[in-house]
Amino acid sequence: MANILETFEALHPTSKQMAARAAVVFPSGVTHDARAFEPFPIYVDHAQGARKWDVDGNEIVDYIGGHGALLLGHNRPEVVEAVHGALARGTHFGSSHDLEIEWGEQVLKMVPSGERVRFTSSGTEATMMALRLARAYTGRDRVVTFEDHFHGWHDLVVGRLGPDEAHPHSIGVPDGFYDGLTILPAGDVGALAEALKGRDVAAVILEPTGAHWGSHPLSPEYLCEMRRITTETGTLMVMDEVITGFRMAPGGAQERYGVTPDLSTLAKILAGGLPGGCVTGRADVVSMLEMREGDPDWNSKRRVSHQGTFNANPASAAAGITALKIIEDGSPLRQADAAAAA
C-alpha cells in the first residue's frame, strides 16, 4: 500500500513540476511564508465558491479562504461583475475617482470607529500607518502590543518573543529599533495599567479577539478595561481588525463587543478578495494626513505624509463596495457562523 507521501506525489505531478520551477525563482519557491509546504505546495488552476481545482484536476474544499479575505467565497457573481465593470473603465488611473469615495463612505457607514478613512494596499501598510499616526498625534514614541499578536511584517511589529529572549528581535531590523516597543502578556489588566501609567505610550495595538485568529482569546471585559485605561492615560487604542473586520459583525469585533477604538486597521474582507487595506477612526487623528493650504510649516514638518501607487485602485474599490454591501445586513456572517458551529 502506498504511503501518504507517495499518494500525494501521485495525485499532484504537475504541482511537483511547477514547484521545481518556482524553487529557482522565489526563496523557498513561494510568494508567502504560509504557502510553503513539504514536499511541495499545490498549484491552483481555478476556484469557485468554496472549492479550488489544482493543476492536476483535483477538486479541493478550500478552508484557507484567501487567508481570511474570501468570506463570500471564490468568484461571487456580484463581485466579479463589479470588477469587470471597473476594469472596462481602467485598471489604474493615478487620479481620484468615484469608486474610492463610495468605498470610503461604505467603510464609515459600517465601522463604529470610522469618522475618516485612508486606503492602503495591504493590512501591513495599514498597521504601519496607524502607529505612525498615533505617534504623530500624541507626540509620544512608545508602542504597546501583546505576545503572539500579529500585525503584519513591517519592522516594529515583526519581532517576536521567543522562550529565551528578553527582547523582541528579527534579523534585518537594526539593533535598538525595538527600544520604543513594549510587549505585554495578553489579558493582564495590571500589566497594561503599569505599562501606561508613565503616559509615554502613543498607542496600544491588538487583535481584539486574541492571537492566532482568536484561538488564544481575549475577554470582552479586558477590551473594556483597555478602553478605560487608554482613555485615562491619553493613549490611542488601535484595534487591528484585518482579520475580524466585517467578520465578527458587519462592523467587526468593535461592533460585536461594543468597544470603540480610536483607530482601526482593516484589510482582507475589506477589498472583496482583491488587494486593499485601510485605517479608519477619529477624524482628529486621521486628519494628521491632511494638507493645509497656506500652512507650509504644517505641510512640510508636522503632517504625516502617505503615498501608495495602488491605494484605492478602481478594481479593489469596486470589489470592496460590492462585498461590503452584501455583508452589511449580516446574513453571510450568520451563514459562516452556522457552518463553523456545525
pLDDT given at position 215: 87
Q: Is the pLDDT of residue 154 over 80?
A: yes
Q: Is the pLDDT of residue 323 over 80?
A: yes
- pTM for this predicted structure: 0.94
Instruction: Name the strand (E) or helix (H) holding 53.
Output: strand 51-54
pLDDT given at position 285: 98
Instruction: Find the mean pLDDT for residues 83-102.
Output: 97
pLDDT given at position 214: 85
Instruction: Find the mean pLDDT for residues 232-238.
Output: 98
Model confidence at 168, pLDDT cuts 50, 70, 90, reads: confident
| Amino acid found at 240 | D
Model confidence at 54, pLDDT cuts 50, 70, 90, reads: very high
DSSP string, 74-95: BT-HHHHHHHHHHHHH-S--SS
DSSP string, 151-192: --SSHHHH-B--TT-SS-B-TTSPTTGGGGEEEE-TT-HHHH
Query: Shortest CA distance to 68 belongs to which of 278, 284, 213?
Result: 213
CB 277 within 8 A of CB 119: yes
Model confidence at 164, pLDDT cuts 50, 70, 90, reads: low
Burial class (CB in 10 A: 0-12, 13-18, 19+), 110: buried
pLDDT, the chain, mean: 94
How many whole angstroms separate alpha carbon 327 and alpha carbon 342? 21
Q: Is the pLDDT of residue 132 over 80?
A: yes
Window from 108-117, 156-165, 228-237, 290-299 with minimum mean pLDDT: 156-165
How many whole angstroms separate alpha carbon 340 and alpha carbon 334? 10
pLDDT given at position 37: 87
pLDDT given at position 155: 86
Model confidence at 169, pLDDT cuts 50, 70, 90, reads: confident
How many whole angstroms separate alpha carbon 304 and alpha carbon 133? 7
DSSP string, 84-135: HHHHHH-S--SS--HHHHHHHHHHHHH-TT-SEEEEESSHHHHHHHHHHHHH
Query: Do strands 59-61 and 51-54 pair parallel, antiparallel, or not at all (unpaired)?
Result: antiparallel
